Structure 1
Amino acid sequence: MEDYQKRSIRQWAIEDRPREKLIQKGIGSLSNAELLAILIGSGSQKESAVDLSRKILHDAHNNLNELGKATIESLQKGYHGVGEAKAITIVAALELGRRRQLSSPVERPQIRKSEDVFALMHPTLADLPHEEFWILILNQANKVINRFNTSKGGIAGTVIDVRLIMEKALYQHASSLILCHNHPSGNRKPSQADISITKKLTEAGKILDIQVLDHLIVAENHYFSFADEGMM
């Protein structure tokens, strides 16, 4: 069998190529050398990017902290096939990893009651002269992992695309959703259209095992909660 070391990565089996392996099997399946190979992109005529990465890691005692001490100059001078651009990429990636370790986790707001939703969305919706419909995506702990504006309308209403909302919810691994929109008129009472879209999204969520917990209507400094009113 021909040795992979003598062949370019493009000649490898698809499942063995670092980028394709990442896509097919997930980032956790890649070794440090394979991850480094993705960063540098290519090796030299004598060795593949993966073999070059193995050599770089070997010289750093297979320790990423040691590799983090490498300079652009030492990488360029120490390895055939590592030019300035590749050396900069390696140094920048390791610095980014160091800064990640120093960063604090993002504090995600947790929704326990309708007042929490109102406090979160009131600054965004209260003073708008037109309607906007927003979706809050929650994880299993009822923490907001994302929120997005799904539509903007006029004074009297906005158009909602159920398929688009559920597509985004699935993509972001939502455990549950909260719907929220505003009434520029200041009237908290839900319209028939509000009731209808709530039912549609709730039914769609049941099929996909994504619970719609509430629908809040923000009207100036007040709000209406479908859940509080027993309408969910």
Structure 2
Amino acid sequence: MSRPVRDRPRERLASLGPAALSDAELVAILLGSGTRGRPATELAAVLLAELGGVAGIANADVDELARHSGIGAAKASTLVAAFALSSRLSLVHAPVVASSADIAAAAISRIGSVRTEHVLLLILDAARSLRWHFDTMRWQLRWRTTIRVAP
């Protein structure tokens, strides 16, 4: 049985604004549609649960997302693009990085509580404002890894 039109995520977004919607409803809007027998909101809720929430989706790449049932390359690309734009927007109000705590805060806001190792490059301007970040590398930890850095 389908939801009444007024209770669907897109209509709720238009009438109530994004703050009134759950994470699953917002992700469902990005997905656009579900699969046969599985509405977009259910598909979104499963994706959020399997990836560990919004941060997990935000940090996933197209291939990782597309491996989930009901998510093909098009839907995965839409999700990755939406989170990339959000990340770029956060640079408009660039934080000043003056301490190691500021670096940690900047890193955590970009990689969250992911299940993979990341090497994050943070680029600052002369005023120490964060201007760009780039996740240079990420890999699944299966063995103990040691990275040696020459002085």
Q: TM-score, normalised by structure 2?
A: 0.58
- Matching of residues 169-184 of structure 1 within 5 Å: none
Summarize deviations over 1:65-99 as a string: whole Å, max 9, x none.
2222211111111x222111100000011111111
Determine whether 1:102 maps to 2:87: no
RMSD across aligned positions (CA):
1.5
* CA drift at 1:60: 2.1
For structure 2, the residue ranges without an aligned partner over 5 or more in a row are 95-151
Specify the alignment match of 1:74 in structure 2: 64
Determine whether 1:35 maps to 2:26: yes
| Amino acid across the alignment from 1:95 | A
* Contact residue 33 and residue 53 of structure 1 kept, 8 A: yes
Deviating above 6 A after TM superposition, structure 1's stretches of 4 or more consecutive aligned residues are none
Question: Distance in 2 between the 1:35 and 1:85 partners?
Answer: 17
Question: Distance in 1 between the 2:89 and 2:55 partners?
Answer: 14
- Matching of residues 61-210 of structure 1 within 5 Å: 61-62=52-53, 64-77=54-67, 79-104=68-93
Count of equivalent residues: 94
* CA drift at 1:104: 2.4
| Amino acid across the alignment from 2:77 | I
> Percent of aligned positions with the same letter in both sequences?
37
* Contact residue 76 and residue 83 of structure 1 kept, 8 A: yes
